Amino acid sequence: MAWNWQLEKSGGNRIGAEETFSTQAAAETWLGEHWRDLRTEGVEKVVLLDGEDTIYTMSLEDPT
């Protein structure tokens, strides 16, 4: 399957990341390199997808 990130901005607005990855590790490495930029762009939450299956959801907001 193809791995990709679904990005969620405030209000639940969903946008798909342009990148598609062949492995979960490659997708997670990409996020590790880009999460600060995504947060600056207003992304609050990311969802890792394997095809159409949700693997996990992660917040990019500061913990309270």
pLDDT in tens, 27-57: 999 999 999 999 999 999 999 999 999 999 9
> Residue 62's pLDDT is what?
82
pLDDT confidence of residue 48: 96
Whether the pLDDT of residue 12 is over 80: the answer is no
- What is the reported pLDDT for 1? 74
Q: Encode 4-30: b = buried (16+ Cβ within 10 Å), e = exposed.
A: bbebbeeeeeeeebeeebeeeeebbeb
Confidence category of residue 20, pLDDT binned at 50, 70, 90 = very high
The DSSP letter of residue 47 is E
pTM of the model: 0.87
CA dist 31 to 25, 60, Å? Answer: 10, 10
